Amino acid sequence: MKYLIIYAHPNPESFNHAVLGAVEKILKAAGRTYEVRDLNAMKFNPVLDRADFELGSKGKAAGEIEREQRHIKEADVLIFIYPIWWFGMPAIMKGYIDRVFAQDFAFSMDGERLTGLLKGKKAVIINTTGAPRDLLAGMGYEDAMKKTAEIGIFEFCGLEVAVHKYFYAVPDADEVSRRQMLEEIAKIIS
Ligand SMILES: Cc1cc2nc3c(=O)[nH]c(=O)nc-3n(C[C@H](O)[C@H](O)[C@H](O)COP(=O)(O)O)c2cc1C
């Protein structure tokens, strides 16, 4: 079983970075094979441009798209770690999806028939928020995330969303609750 961690946060002092560290520690202790794609550290270009479109329309990919697709192909479980920014994913993560989860790699369309080409792989999504759970629940937040991320992206491409975990109100959490949150990760990743 091979794991691919796709991580987006610019700050190595962030809670998200601590989440990444906790996930890596668990995978290492379990003797799992894994790779980390740290999108900010890689300075991943998130803009799907004309050249990408032209290659994509021929069913081809080059450069970092081709390289990232190779990583995804080799993995059985994709672990996405990112904070919620503006009720969605940071632009660098969205751009990774725009460019790497390309047609005829991540999904195919034959008329109205859609095939998720990443079928057989699992997705684990770990998100953090600034706002508390109750406030977000009142705005229909989890339902919105389910539609835009789980259904609209991951399941669309055939991935089975095994876990979608939220850590809420992270900036207000004290050291003890942060530690408890990090300990919860062991229940998600096995
Ligand atoms: C650009 C930006 C947009 C944000 N949008 C939201 C949001 O829509 N909902 C929310 O609950 N928190 C939002 N936040 C707060 C972050 O989600 C929160 O600070 C982060 O999850 C905490 O984890 P970190 O310490 O690893 O950054 C936003 C933060 C930034 C920088």
pLDDT tens digit sequence for 144-165:
999 999 999 999 999 999 999 9
* CA of 32 relative to ligand 1 center, distance in Å: 30
- Taking the CA of residue 83 as reference, the ligand 1 atom at the shortest distance is 21
Kind and range of the H or E element at 148? Answer: none
Is 48 exposed, middle or buried (CB count within 10 Å of its CB: 0-12, 13-18, 19+)?
A: middle
pLDDT reading at 190 higher than 90? no
Distance of CA 145 to the CA centre of its chain: 13
Average pLDDT estimate for 59-79:
96
**Average pLDDT of the chain, as a whole number:** 96
User: What pLDDT sits at residue 59?
Assistant: 86
Is 183 exposed, middle or buried (CB count within 10 Å of its CB: 0-12, 13-18, 19+)?
A: exposed
| Residue of 85, 127, 135, 141 best suited for mutating to test ligand 1, as the one with most atoms within 8 Å of CB | 85
Percent of the chain's residues with pLDDT above 70: 100
CB of residue 31 inside a 6 A radius of ligand 1 = no
